[in-house]
């Protein structure tokens, strides 16, 4: 059984078709990169997997059961701008907020919650900064806070939306290593990115998406230029293709 | 007037309205201070304003029918809060325009209704600018009870409110009832506004919600501290404001708000980490090398 299974998924937004004929499988130990141009439907696909958007047809199975909000199997790392960074809250409290749904209404955090927060902070190497206000972190540190917040639920699946955007190379590498080690530790990781280099370097599989899935395979098997020109709508002499050939 | 004179007046049976006004002003400032933290952190000031205005027709109806003003205001305010919550779920609708149209419309309705009551000019003044006289005994208990309910709900739902403030998308994915939490928060804001109307008045009540919380935000980077500081600032402003208003015969709502504003300005200047003076001071400190270092600069020794 696959950890995540997307069958014949179709999604409309504002009366327009956004995703069609999406079939995707994800297993533990995999780190899959989701590539596609702006507006391709990457974020929409993640939201559909989380059951945050209504789907027209098809189904999403998580651990064999239909996905619905509040299931702890999925850790979600939205884009950094979704988070209110000027909120007066420390790093560890921000990570703890990831467990709000699990704790249940009217409950206060207990020992298990703080343990999970500690483990998540360790995992992303933020333990030293745990008392720092979130507003005083760099972009890379912020991204790690969001990853830790998702990990605080001890999920089996991790969905990351553009974790590399706006980060410099050393930070990207650090995060890439983190995602690879999470995949190595039996997580199923799916991340969207616009960073081809980082994706090729870290991912075990790439999925090219533009409304539908155009290709799905190991980076080395995606050498065919036609796949990339179709996905991104670029011409035959685009720099993108030179980059692909260099893979 | 000295503090002792003020205390004497407070316990003077002929001035029984004074301790009542003080109790209501302090209780409502505390509640507004706490709830205001969410309003400030979520940037909901406009919604607070809308609710404050929308409360007016309810109060006018209650006035014409000789009912409880607090109750009338609460009904109208909660109705508005629900409408705003429903509208604002759909992010494609420009919610601020709807709120804008709605709050002025509600206020106009209130003015028309109250003009039907004989001798309305004086009451209108009272609604708009607050007053310390004419508060029925019952209202002290209503305000106290409502205040306790509001603070209890804040305590119970704090971590959910924080999660929704931090990240709506993530909160939805955690299965939190974001829509209902929004509604509860809006209703809490409404109730805080309604119980403050008596003393502060319709025009200035927004200040009680925003100013102490904003001042507290300047003074700390920790939410827990902020939510303690804001009611302390609000409550102190109420006590000092009422004292000054009683001594110098100034309008009570305006005086309380001016004190709170002064606290805000002081915080803006003097806050330990983010205040204007602290920043200026740090910059000066950074521009000038430490003394010992300066003495060792080459070519300077005689
Ligand atoms: N709320 C909405 N209502 C209607 N259409 C929407 C809505 N949100 C997104 N869309 C449309 O759906 C399509 C897919 O959007 P999506 O955000 O999933 O793209 P994306 O691949 O994540 O793009 P980006 O790389 O820019 O983040 C876009 O064409 C967008 O215009
Ligand atoms: Mg996107």
A39 shares a domain with A62: yes
Residue B244: count of CB within 10 angstroms of its CB: 18
pTM of the model: 0.88
Confidence of residue B92 (pLDDT cuts 50, 70, 90): low
> CB A69: neighbour CB atoms within 10 A?
18
Residue of B nearest to A131 (CA): B222
Query: What are the chain B neighbours of A103 within 8 Å (beta carbons)?
Result: 159
The Cα of B30 is separated from the nearest Cα of chain A by a number of Å equal to 20
Q: What is the CATH number of the domain that holds B121?
A: 1.10.3470.10
Query: What average pLDDT score do residues A82-107 get?
Result: 92
Task: Specify if A241 maps to a domain.
Answer: yes
Number of domains in chain A: 2
- With cut-offs at 50, 70 and 90, classify the pLDDT of residue B115: confident
Are B50 and B99 within 8 A, CB to CB? yes
Ligand 1, CB within 6 Å, residue ranges: A 13-14, 18, 36, 38-44
A184 part of a folded domain: yes
Domain's final residue, options A154, A183, A203: A154
Q: What is the DSSP letter of B136?
A: -
Within a domain: B299: no
Q: Which residues of B touch A147 (CB under 8 A)?
A: none
**Is B188 part of any domain?**
yes
The pLDDT mean for chain A works out to: 91
B49 touches chain A (CB under 8 A): no
Number of Cβ atoms within 10 Å of the Cβ of A194: 14
Do A140 and A107 lie in a common domain?
A: yes
Region B94-114: mean pLDDT is 78
Q: Count the domains in chain B.
A: 1
Which structure tokens are listed for A238?
A: 């685009």
Residue of A40, A207, A208 to mutate, ligand 1, most atoms within 8 A of C-beta: A40
B297 has a pLDDT exceeding 50: no
Would you say residue A236 has pLDDT above 90? no
ipTM of the complex: 0.91
Same domain, A145 and A187: no
Beta carbons of A90 and B173 less than 8 Å apart: no
Candidate from B159, B175, B221 with C-beta closest to A88? B221
Print the domain residue range for A118.
89-154
Examine the domain organization and report whether A163 and A238 are in the same domain. yes
Pair type for strands A57-62 and A4-13: antiparallel
Does residue B10 sit within a domain?
A: yes
Span B280-299, average pLDDT? 56
Closest-CA distance, B219 to chain A, in angstroms, reads 11
> Does the residue A80 lie in any domain?
no
Do both A133 and A227 map to the same domain? no
Please indicate, yes or no, if residue A172 is contained in any of the structural domains.
yes
Interface touch B176/A101, C-beta < 8 Å: yes
| Confidence class for position B301, pLDDT limits 50, 70, 90 | very low
Q: Which residue lies with its CA nearest to atom 18 of ligand 1?
A: A41
Mean pLDDT of all residues in B267-275? 82
Nearest-CA residue for ligand 1 atom 24 is A38
Separation between Cα atoms, residue A205 and residue B172, nearest integer Å = 29
């Amino acid at each position: 059984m696959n950890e995540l299974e997307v069958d014949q998924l179709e999604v409309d937004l504002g009366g327009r078709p956004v995703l069609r004929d999406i079939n995707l499988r994800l297993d533990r130990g995999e780190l899959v990169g989701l590539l596609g141009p702006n507006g391709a439907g990457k974020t929409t696909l993640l939201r559909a997997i989380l059951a945050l958007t209504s789907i027209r047809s098809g189904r999403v199975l998580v651990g064999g059961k239909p996905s619905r909000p509040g299931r702890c199997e999925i850790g979600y790392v939205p884009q950094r701008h979704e988070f209110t960074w000027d909120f007066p809250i420390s790093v560890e409290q921000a990570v703890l907020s990831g467990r709000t749904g699990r704790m249940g209404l009217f409950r206060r955090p207990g020992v298990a919650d703080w343990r999970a927060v500690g483990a998540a902070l360790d995992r992303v190497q933020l333990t030293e900064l745990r008392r720092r206000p979130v507003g005083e972190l760099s972009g890379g540190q912020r991204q790690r806070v969001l990853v830790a917040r998702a990990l605080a639920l001890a999920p089996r699946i991790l969905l990351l939306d553009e974790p590399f955007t706006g980060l410099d190379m050393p930070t990207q590498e650090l995060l890439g290593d983190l995602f690879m080690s999470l995949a190595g530790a039996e997580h199923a990781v799916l991340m969207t990115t616009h960073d081809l280099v980082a994706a090729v370097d870290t991912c075990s599989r790439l999925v090219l998406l533009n409304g539908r899935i155009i290709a799905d395979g190991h980076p080395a098997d995606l050498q065919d230029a036609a796949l990339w020109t179709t996905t991104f709508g670029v011409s035959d002499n685009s720099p993108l293709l030179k980059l692909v050939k260099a893979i | 007037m000295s503090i002792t004179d003020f205390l004497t007046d407070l316990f003077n049976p002929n001035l029984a309205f004074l301790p009542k006004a003080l109790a209501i002003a302090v209780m409502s400032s505390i509640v507004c201070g706490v709830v205001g933290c969410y309003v400030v952190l979520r940037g909901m000031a406009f919604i607070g304003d809308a609710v404050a205005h929308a409360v007016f027709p309810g109060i006018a109806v209650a006035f014409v029918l000789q009912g409880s003003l607090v109750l009338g205001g609460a009904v109208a305010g909660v109705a508005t809060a629900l409408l705003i919550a429903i509208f604002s779920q759909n992010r494609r609708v420009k919610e601020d325009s709807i709120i804008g149209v709605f709050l002025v419309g509600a206020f106009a309705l209130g003015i028309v209704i109250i003009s039907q009551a004989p001798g309305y000019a004086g009451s209108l003044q009272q609604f708009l600018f607050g007053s310390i006289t004419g508060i029925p005994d019952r209202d002290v208990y209503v305000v106290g009870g409502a205040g306790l309910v509001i603070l209890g709900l804040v305590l119970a739902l704090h971590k959910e409110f924080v999660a929704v403030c931090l990240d709506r998308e993530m909160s939805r994915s955690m299965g939190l009832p974001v829509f209902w939490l929004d509604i509860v928060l809006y209703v809490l804001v409404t109730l805080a506004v309604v119980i403050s109307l008596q003393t502060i008045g319709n025009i200035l009540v927004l200040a009680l919600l925003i100013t102490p919380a904003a001042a507290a935000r300047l003074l700390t980077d920790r939410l827990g501290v902020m939510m303690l500081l804001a009611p302390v600032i609000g409550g102190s402003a109420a006590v000092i404001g009422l004292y000054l208003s009683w001594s110098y015969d100034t309008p009570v709502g305006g005086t309380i708000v001016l004190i709170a504003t002064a606290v805000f300005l002081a915080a803006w200047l003097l806050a330990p980490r983010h205040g204007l003076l602290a920043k200026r001071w740090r910059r000066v400190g950074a521009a000038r090398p430490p003394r010992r270092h300066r003495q060792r600069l080459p070519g300077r020794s005689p």
